[in-house]
């Protein structure tokens, strides 16, 4: 059985790179001879003109998330736009409290409590996302979008086998016999380089290592063939050696499973090693959107992004450069002005009137800073 996400494009011959790329269909889970195209092939098949437009797996346009607190209306995320193409790995980085988690959680109905107001548009594979319809959000989670939980050890119920967790997720979405789910589960695990998936499925979480559980977690998220995986701080709760493993695992997802990936982290170094594109978030704004290559080449323009790069730990005797001050609290960063202004060492007088519009400074490179205005 082949699970295929609903995609607003004609489906070509199954198995060809074009078809796979167009339908986001490398998700054929039980087809053993599925040819998974490389990124280049996929890009070629899609054509460059489709990339920035509507061919995206996820496209978010001017998403704002407000928190109602008694009589106040606090904006947590303001006019965030994001695009993730097929098989693209996009990183979202920024400090804690910057709005990263609120941003993605708002898309899939995961904000807790009724005090949130989400405005803007978002499309998952061309289909508009409804932020308020809880049932629709629930149905898309796990099926159209896979969300990889943060903590591999805690994310498994200790009294149930790994297999039960696969079964649970599958049964929440599709009505197919257990044997087929079993095959899908084994297949999904095997794709993530798990030897002997059958044995892993029958063991309990405490019988598995952290790395195996991490793989199992990703395998569950990817089992039903989502077009997009979201990993929120996947490297935070693991030690350094496992972190490396997790990152290479996430990187291999694109080839092995064929999904796009939204990687959310405060760890710039980790994200840079994996992502194609980076979105730097500060104070509720996505202040810079830049290709990883450009970032490495030193083309970042937003002062915060530049500082962030300088603040990566290096092997040197020099003192690590840090940004003075602290990130603004939610109340401090209300109103349409630059949240980084108080900490910025390149600020000009005109900055205080700047209403945070974004400037395009290059191919797929946007900056929300007055400094970038002249270079558009």
Q: Which residues bind another protein (CB under 8 A)?
A: 110, 113-114, 138-143, 146-147, 149-151, 153-160, 164, 168-169, 171-173, 217, 220-221
Please report how close the Cβ of residue 156 comes to another protein at its closest, in angstroms. Answer: 6
Q: Which two tokens stand for residue 314?
A: 């290096």
Nearer to another protein, 164 or 334 (CB): 164
Nearer to another protein, 115 or 346 (CB): 115
CA separation for the pair 215, 249 (Å, rounded):
8
Comparing CA positions, the residue from 222, 228, 230 lying closest to residue 170 is 222
If DSSP states are collapsed to H, E and C, what string results for 288-318?
Answer: EEEEHHHHHCCCCCCHHHHHHHHCCCCCCCC
Nearer to another protein, 220 or 371 (CB): 220
What sign results for the dihedral spanned by CA atoms 141, 205, 260, 103? positive
Nearer to another protein, 30 or 155 (CB): 155
CA-based R_g, the chain, Å: 21
Please report how close the Cβ of residue 229 comes to another protein at its closest, in angstroms. Answer: 11
What sign results for the dihedral spanned by CA atoms 120, 124, 126, 132? negative
Please report how close the Cβ of residue 173 comes to another protein at its closest, in angstroms. Answer: 6
Nearer to another protein, 155 or 273 (CB): 155
CA separation for the pair 9, 20 (Å, rounded):
11
Contacts with 50 (C-beta within 8 Å, 6 or more apart), sequence order: none
Please report how close the Cβ of residue 105 comes to another protein at its closest, in angstroms. Answer: 10
Taking each helix axis from N to C end, the angle separating 210-223 and 162-171, rounded to the nearest 10 degrees, works out to: 20
CA separation for the pair 214, 192 (Å, rounded):
10
Please report how close the Cβ of residue 148 comes to another protein at its closest, in angstroms. Answer: 8
Nearer to another protein, 152 or 339 (CB): 152
Q: Could you say which DSSP state residue 207 is in? A: G
Please report how close the Cβ of residue 261 comes to another protein at its closest, in angstroms. Answer: 15
């Amino acid at each position: 059985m082949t699970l295929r996400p609903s995609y607003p494009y004609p489906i070509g011959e199954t198995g060809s790179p074009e078809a796979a790329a167009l339908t986001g269909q490398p998700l054929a889970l039980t087809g053993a001879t599925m040819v998974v195209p490389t990124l280049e092939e996929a890009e070629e098949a899609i054509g460059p003109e489709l990339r920035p437009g509507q061919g995206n797996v996820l496209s978010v346009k001017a998403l704002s998330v407000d928190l109602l607190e008694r009589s106040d209306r606090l904006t947590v995320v303001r006019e965030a736009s994001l695009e993730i193409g097929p098989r693209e790995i996009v990183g979202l980085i920024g400090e804690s409290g910057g709005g990263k988690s609120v941003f993605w959680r708002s898309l899939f109905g995961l904000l807790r409590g009724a005090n949130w107001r989400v405005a803007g548009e978002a499309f998952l594979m061309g289909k508009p996302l409804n932020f308020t319809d809880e049932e629709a959000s629930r149905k898309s989670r796990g099926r159209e979008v896979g969300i990889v939980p943060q903590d591999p050890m805690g994310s498994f119920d200790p009294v149930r086998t790994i297999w039960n967790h696969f079964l649970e997720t599958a049964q929440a979405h599709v009505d197919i016999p257990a044997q087929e789910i079993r095959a899908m589960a084994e297949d999904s695990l095997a794709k993530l380089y798990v030897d002997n998936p059958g044995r892993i499925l029958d063991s309990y979480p405490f019988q598995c290592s952290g790395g195996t559980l991490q793989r199992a977690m990703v395998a569950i998220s990817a089992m039903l063939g989502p077009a997009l995986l979201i990993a929120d701080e996947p490297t935070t709760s693991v030690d350094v050696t496992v972190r490396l493993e997790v990152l290479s695992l996430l990187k291999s997802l694109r080839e092995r499973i064929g999904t796009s990936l939204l990687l959310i982290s405060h760890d710039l170094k980790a994200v840079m090693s994996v992502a194609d594109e980076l979105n730097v978030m500060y104070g509720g704004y996505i202040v810079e959107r830049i290709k990883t290559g450009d970032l490495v080449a030193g083309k970042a323009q937003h002062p915060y992004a530049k500082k962030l790069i300088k603040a990566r730990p290096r092997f040197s005797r020099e003192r690590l450069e840090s940004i003075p001050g602290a990130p603004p609290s939610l109340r401090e960063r209300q109103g349409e002005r630059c949240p980084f202004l108080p900490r910025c060492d390149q600020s000009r007088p005109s900055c205080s009137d700047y209403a945070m519009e974004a400037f395009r400074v290059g191919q797929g490179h946007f900056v929300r800073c007055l400094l970038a205005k002249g270079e558009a």
